[in-house]
Amino acid sequence: MQDEPQKPYTEGPMHSTSPVIDPGLTFASVTDKISSIVLKRKTSLAWFFGFAISFALFQLMLLAMTNLLFVGIGLWGVNVPVAWGIDILNFVWWIGIGHAGTLISAILLLLRQRWRTSINRFAEAMTLFAVAQAGMYPIFHLGRPWLMYWLFPYPNTMGIWPQFRSPLMWDVFAVSTYATVSAMFWFVGLIPDFATLRDRARSKPFQILYGMLAMGWRGSARHWHRYEMAYLLLAGLATPLVLSVHTIVSFDFAVGIIPGWHATIFPPYFVAGAIYAGFAMVLLLTIPLRKFYGLEGFITMRHMHNMGKVMLATGLIVGYGYIMEAFFGWYSGNKYERFMIWNRMHGPYSLYYWALILCNIITPQFLWFKKLRSNLLVLWIISFIVSIGMWLERFVIVVTSLHRDFLPSSWGMYQPTQWDWAMFIGTIGFFFTLLFLFIRFLPMISIFEMRTILPEAEMEE
């Protein structure tokens, strides 16, 4: 910080008060600061502590899965009216969380929202890890998980294709494509930074490791040219996926004929919900990280405000969805739909419904106020509540729709068992395990992209 602060970068006069990057940073200091987390800084005790807890929970997940494989999915609370429980709920929840990353990376890139740069790497990593958690559920919720490959269209001696009319089939493609493209996007974006780490790493193994990951990046103009092209193409590819994945996940329900599932409103409302949940999770993780690693210069209040606004907007869309669901339940005159809404509001799971309304409609209204948006604690708490709210939303959709459908004789209740929770908590542990490894071994903020938004990078054409 010896250099004199230069003219800060601004997008326009209205943002002059909250820049996207601390005006005091330079090319060198950006690189230093971000790469030092990986290369130089002593790994803090807190990191070990957090990692240990996450890792222990990760082991719990492995235990739960092993037991499940040996004994059967009867260990979970699923039953006959409610054949999907918190397994599918968690799948949708994790997939939803995985939405913010790609949205931030791809859509905001295409929309030239430069503020995305500070958070995209982190958000993308979060996406990948969340999708990894999500991906496990559809496999382990099967009665015979070892046969999951039957869902893929591969040439086989049985001469059978999968059933292409089934939304679960679409899920297989949607989720696997999404996971692949997100991973590629993330990795391609990391290549220049791998090269930086390779050049700066002091121990041989890390030099070799990062060297391999950098794939021979030398920073030549040709490399940059190709990189830019590839990145842009991947962004173009990823953009429709953001919309398609959750649309297709929503089809799992919308295609079903169960009242509470069979609704055309599901695709847009699921996508909005996913973005809502994703941003909540990004905020939930960014706020403590930023503080802990002193990254306030990179992730500024501007980001916080923007993310808050996105949450407010998507939250309103989601709220609109709830209102429309209730409206159509009444307006359709369909006895089953009417009962479904009545049952959500007054049935045995009404508590979940009202908690959901509180979490997802009432809480985000605080985000209208700039003052509250600026208070990181408030923002963090709101994000936390929204994350819970989105979990409840899926609970309401999956469980309350199923538990009382058409024939009252078949009505039942659903009670998750300890193994349900073990698996869920276990995936949270796995998620954080990956996240801890990520922040320790990879640059959590894109170094080279950060440099492009420095004032230094301003070039007079």
Partner 1 sequence: MSDSDRHINFTLMRDHILALQDVETERGKKRYWRSLEELADTPLFREFVEREFPQQAEEWHDPIERRTFIKLMGASLALAGLSGCVFQPPEKIVPNVKQPEDQVPGKALFFATAAPLFGAAIPVLVRSNEGRPTKIEGNPDHPNNRPTDFPPEDPIRDPRGSSATDIFTQASILSLYDPDRSPTLTFREDIQTWTAFVGQMRSILDEQRPKQGVGIRFLTESIISPTLGALMKELQTALPQSKWHQYEPANRDNAFEGAKTAFGQPVNTTYRFDLAQRVLSLDCDFLAPAFPGYLRYSREFMARRRITETNKEMNRLYVVETTPSTTGATADHTWEVKPSEFAGLAQIIAFSVGVQAGTTRPLLGNEGPFAPGSSFDPNNSAGPVWIEALARDLQQHKGASIVLAGDNQPPFVHAIAHAMNNALGNVGKTVFYTDPLEVNPVSHRESLKDLIDDIDAGRVELLVIIGGNPVHNTPADLKLSPERLQKIAKQKDTNRIVHLSEFRDETSEWSHWHVPAAHYLESWGDTRSYDGTVSIVQPLILPLYDGKTAFELLAVFTEQYDRKPYDMVKTFWQTQRSGQGQTQAASATSNQTARPTATPAAQVTPAPAPSPSQDFETWWRQSVHDGFMANSAFQPKTFAMNSGWANQQTSPAQQSAAGTFELVFRTDPSIYDGRFANNGWLQELPKALTKVTWDNVAIVSPNSAQQIANARDNGGATKGREHYVPLVDIVNQQGQKITAPLWIMPGQPDGVVTLHLGYGRRLAGKVGTGNDGELVGFDAYPIRTSFEPWFTTGAKVTNTGRDYLLATTQLHFNLEDPKFSTEERDIVRSQTLEEFLHGTGEHAEEEKHGHPTLYPGYDYKDQAENAPNYAWGMAIDLNNCIGCNACTVACQSENNIPVVGKHEVVRSREMHWIRLDTYFRGFDPNHPEGVNFMPVPCMHCENAPCEPVCPVHATVHSAEGLNDMVYNRCVGTKYCSNNCPYKVRRFNFFLYQNWDQPTYQLMRNPEVSVRSRGVMEKCTYCVQRIQNAKIQAELEDRKVRDGEIVTACQAVCPTEAIVFGDVNDPHSRVSKLKESERNYSLLGELNTKPRTTYLSQLKNPNPEIKA
Residues making contact with partner 1 (CB under 8 A)? 71-74, 77-81, 83-84, 141-144, 147-148, 150-151, 158, 160-163, 165-169, 172, 252, 255-258, 335-336, 338-339, 342, 347-348, 402, 405-413, 415
Shortest separation between residue 330's beta carbon and partner 1, angstroms = 12
* Contact (Cβ atoms closer than 8 angstroms) between residue 9 and residue 281: no
Give per-residue burial for 162-198: e unless 16+ CB within 10 Å, then b.
eeeeebebbbbbbbebbbebbeebbebbbbbbbbbbb
Burial class (CB in 10 A: 0-12, 13-18, 19+), 370: exposed
Residue 246: name the closest of 94, 449, 432, 446 by CA: 94
Nearer to partner 1, 320 or 421 (CB): 421
Question: Distance between CA atoms of 293 and 19, rounded to whole angstroms?
Answer: 19
Shortest separation between residue 142's beta carbon and partner 1, angstroms = 5
Question: Distance between CA atoms of 43 and 339, rounded to whole angstroms?
Answer: 56
Nearer to partner 1, 17 or 409 (CB): 409
Nearer to partner 1, 151 or 245 (CB): 151
Shortest separation between residue 270's beta carbon and partner 1, angstroms = 17
Question: Distance between CA atoms of 452 and 458, rounded to whole angstroms?
Answer: 8
Nearer to partner 1, 415 or 452 (CB): 415
Residue 290: name the closest of 379, 413, 415 by CA: 379
Nearer to partner 1, 157 or 203 (CB): 157
278: tokens are: 């994703």
Shortest separation between residue 439's beta carbon and partner 1, angstroms = 36
Question: Distance between CA atoms of 364 and 165, rounded to whole angstroms?
Answer: 38
Q: Name the DSSP letter for residue 332.
A: T
Question: Distance between CA atoms of 388 and 384, rounded to whole angstroms?
Answer: 6
Nearer to partner 1, 138 or 429 (CB): 138
Nearer to partner 1, 127 or 401 (CB): 401
433: tokens are: 């395990």
Nearer to partner 1, 169 or 265 (CB): 169
Shortest separation between residue 256's beta carbon and partner 1, angstroms = 5
Question: Distance between CA atoms of 26 and 34, rounded to whole angstroms?
Answer: 12
Identity (one letter) of the amino acid at 162? P
Nearer to partner 1, 2 or 157 (CB): 157
Shortest separation between residue 97's beta carbon and partner 1, angstroms = 23
Identity (one letter) of the amino acid at 284? L
340: tokens are: 């479904």
Tokens 């640059």 label which residue? 443
Nearer to partner 1, 240 or 412 (CB): 412
What angle, rounded to 10 degrees, do the helices at 45-71 and 117-140 form? 20
Shortest separation between residue 413's beta carbon and partner 1, angstroms = 5
Nearer to partner 1, 190 or 245 (CB): 245
Q: Which residues contact 209 (CB under 8 A, 6 or more apart)?
A: none
Nearer to partner 1, 76 or 448 (CB): 76
Neighbours of 28 (CB within 10 A): 11
63: tokens are: 């235990």
Helical spans, DSSP H, in 40-72: 45-71
Shortest separation between residue 353's beta carbon and partner 1, angstroms = 14
Quick check: helix, strand or coil at residue 72?
A: coil
Shortest separation between residue 249's beta carbon and partner 1, angstroms = 13
* Contact (Cβ atoms closer than 8 angstroms) between residue 409 and residue 77: no
Q: How far is CA 63 from CA 60, 66, 68, 139, 423, in A?
A: 5, 5, 8, 16, 9
Q: What is the dihedral of CA 131, 132, 135, 137, to 10 degrees?
A: -110
Shortest separation between residue 385's beta carbon and partner 1, angstroms = 23
